[in-house]
Amino acid sequence: MAMNDHTLSWPTGPVLRNVAALVRYRIGETSSTLRLTEPNCPIQAPGLQAFWRQEPAPNGYQFWLELTASGEAPIYLETTDVLTARAPDLGAPPATWRVYQNGWQSWSPTFVRHLEGTRYADPGTPEYRAAHQPHWEPDYDGLISSEWVAVLFAPPATALLLGFLTAKDQLAEIRLRADGSELTARCHLDSVLLAPGASLRTEVLWVAAGPDPLRLLEAWAEAIAREMGARAPHPTIGGEAATEGARGRGESPPTGWCTWYYFYGENTADDILDNLRAIANHRLPLDVILIDDGYQTAIGDWFSIQTDKFPDGMEPVAEAVRAAGHRLGIWTAPFGAAATSQLFATHPDWVVRDESGAPVVGWVHWGVPCYALDCTHPEVLAWLEETFRRMRREWGATFFKIDFLFAAARPGRRYDPTATRAQALRRGVEAIRNAIGDDAFLLGCGAPLGPCIGLVDGMRIGTDVDPNWHPIFRYDLSAVSTENALRNSITRAPFHNRLWLNDPDCLLVRQRGPDLDLVLNEVRTLTAVIALLGGLTINSDNLALIRPGRLKYLRQALPPTGISARPLDLFEHEMPRLLLLPVERDWGRWWVAGVINWEDRTVETPVRLIDLGLPAGRYHVFHYWRRRYLGVTDDTVILRRHQPHETAVLLLKPVSDRPDLLTTTFHVCQGAVEVADCRWDETHHLLYIALEKAGVQYGEVWLTAPEPWETIEVRVNGERHPWVSPAPGILRIGLTLEGRSEVTARFRKR
């Protein structure tokens, strides 16, 4: 790679020409634009000194701007383009490009957009712009905006990443004209005041290139996590190790039960107690009991409890949750004050105001406007801290879901005129973090992603799941639906265990009926994707009424692995179809693939081992949902009747010349969490398997016994146990796993 004059280039990669930086600012009523074309050379303009910094970085460069108000008058900073350039030369016409487009907040559409033939349609409504397009302007048509990071990919092997490595102080985006004519990395300074002599630094931009766009995206997530002190552990798989398998189980994310997706805020205290009893009766290993929206009388009045639902207040319910051995989780929307709330009536000066002095609406909640709290106001920050301290102290809550966080980043006038929208949001989240303590779990939702890194433990990374598969308006990728929730969860999979623990939203497993329109294949797909992505696993059915047989799907997703499958075809399809989880343990190595059919029709789907990146060799193939051994292949598996919205979960394990564990059916990831040990005793020709899993569950253990081996006996917990042979050289052993079980199989050579 080289930098000559205004050009960035890489020996075998892209070229960027006419590279420059821009600063837009105002002194009094005079607006100015300063263009910088030479890095590491300070420029003096009327009232402003600008320094465009550039340093080498892995596979590319880092850029940022340092700005100082050098005159006697204050200046107002609007936007800075840390880098702007002509269309990059990726070795292919723009019409063939794919662009990773990251949405602003949790629910914003995120996917790899094809510049020709995209499924994305901009609804163009004021509501959509307010929720998902924080930098909207009249020339937005023909503009692709990706928040904080974008990866441009020209198949088959040219990728360019632009990603900000810091995100505490400014909202930032990557802009690309759909015709490929212009590329910009912009920081938004929101017209903040810079007093004479004061200085400011933009966020740091990383520009990198390489042949693998998914690797670049993962590398960016790891880099910003390091820079911002992300609370999630760095993954045990990353870089080259990602192709070799998950060597450890990772940190197991929270599990739990949530009130929302059955009761939708209408639950009573008795409903929660009924579900507590059901969890105990079914012996479900769920930790958190999350009381979602609907307990409060108004947004902002968090200790004013609806007495018709909670006649004795929150304390008895909280005590019952703790007494049952669970952690109490509480939902809030902390940066809003409903127009009908006591909070707003008492403190109208606490909200963000527009230029006319009217309160800024953060969002409309069930028909009621909720005004955006000004998180630069010291009294607001003190109130936030006291509110969350009380929830922890009086209710014993240790899991906090904070929702609609984008309200704190609404445009408007704030108490502190030097604070950006990003800083206002971060100050609010910091106040909550300080109040709840380092040992509580903080889950962000409806959150602008960047400023929350380093403060939250988990993050919702998609829309709400829904009783319906498709959204009502089919091409609104932000609309609530299970399809949209899963797409975002897959396309943001690289963030898991790097920026935070991903929350794909709740798992619904109840039978189809008036309150759920998901068919069995759709429930299985929801289960499979949540299990393969390894993040938070929280159920939201009425467990007191659910048909017990449906609970097997919940059990098969518990506990979460903590390790995310990789969306291998992320840059091939706008709806990724192929997830792969490599697993490696001391006793073996295998791969679990999720193959998704998003179509509304049955298709034939070939799965090639070369596309999975598996080493050359022969592999056993097991179809998880159909409990079917598909034989051995060294090339391709063909799913001949891949049904609508079905995710075929395939286990692929190298063929061994001795008896071996093939798979278990207690978890979608088939041994990644429930197999505690597996040993082959060559002297006694004995295969030993130890299973450990909380709760009680029926499942199967499948073994291979290739020629010339034959089975003498099978024992479960020391007792002789029957088995069946569904195919030559294959054994299937059914058993109920209750905490721990030991399976032994003895063989001899013919």
For 269-314, the pLDDT digits (tens) are 999 999 999 999 999 999 999 999 999 999 999 999 999 999 999 9
Mean pLDDT across 666-674: 97
Q: What is the number of other CB atoms lying within 10 angstroms of the CB of residue 563?
A: 29
Exposure of 621 in the CB half-sphere (CA atoms within 13 A): 22
For residue 29 the two structure tokens come to 């009523």
Q: What is the number of other CB atoms lying within 10 angstroms of the CB of residue 474?
A: 12
Using the predicted structure, report yes or no on whether residue 391 has a pLDDT greater than 80: yes
Average pLDDT, the chain: 95
Q: What is the CATH number of domain 566-654?
A: 2.60.40.1180
Active-site residue flag, 541? no
Among 292, 301, 464, 505, the active-site one is: 464
We find that the CATH architecture of domain 656-750 is: Sandwich (2.60)
Using the predicted structure, report yes or no on whether residue 124 has a pLDDT greater than 90: no
DSSP state of 137: -
Q: Rounded distance, CA 417 to CA 168, Å?
A: 17
Active-site residue flag, 515? no
For residue 317 the two structure tokens come to 């319910």
For residue 484 the two structure tokens come to 């949209």
Q: Give per-residue pLDDT as tens, 555-588.
A: 999 999 999 999 999 999 999 999 999 999 999 9
In sequence order, the β-bridge partners of residue 636 are 608
Amino acid occupying residue 662: L
Which residue intervals of 396-501 are DSSP H helices?
A: 421-436, 482-491
Among 403, 476, 541, 660, the active-site one is: 403
For residue 745 the two structure tokens come to 């199989």
**Nearest one of 598, 489, 497, 492 to 101, comparing CA atoms:** 492
We find that the CATH architecture of domain 255-562 is: Alpha-Beta Barrel (3.20)
Using the predicted structure, report yes or no on whether residue 240 has a pLDDT greater than 80: no
Using the predicted structure, report yes or no on whether residue 241 has a pLDDT greater than 70: no
Q: Rounded distance, CA 187 to CA 213, Å?
A: 23
Mean pLDDT across 333-362: 98
Q: What share of the chain is helix, strand, coil (3-state, %, to 5)?
A: 20, 40, 40
Are the C-beta atoms of 580 and 591 separated by less than 8 Å? yes
Q: Rounded distance, CA 246 to CA 241, Å?
A: 8
DSSP state of 139: G
Q: What is the number of other CB atoms lying within 10 angstroms of the CB of residue 69?
A: 23
pLDDT band at 138 (very low <50, low <70, confident <90, very high): confident
Tell me if 566-654 shares its fold with 656-750.
Answer: yes
Q: Rounded distance, CA 72 to CA 197, Å?
A: 8
Assign a CATH topology to domain 2-228. Answer: Beta-galactosidase; Chain A, domain 5 (2.70.98)
Give pLDDT, residue 383.
98
Give pLDDT, residue 117.
84
Counts of helices then strands in the chain (DSSP H, E): 12, 44
Q: Give per-residue pLDDT as tens, 18-40.
A: 999 999 999 999 999 999 999 99
Mean pLDDT across 538-547: 98
pLDDT band at 232 (very low <50, low <70, confident <90, very high): confident
Strands (E), 232-355: 255-258, 288-291, 327-332, 336-338
Considering only CA atoms, give the Rg of the chain: 27
Is the full-model pTM beyond 0.85? yes
Give the residue extent of every domain in the chain.
Answer: 2-228, 255-562, 566-654, 656-750
Q: Rounded distance, CA 248 to CA 536, Å?
A: 18
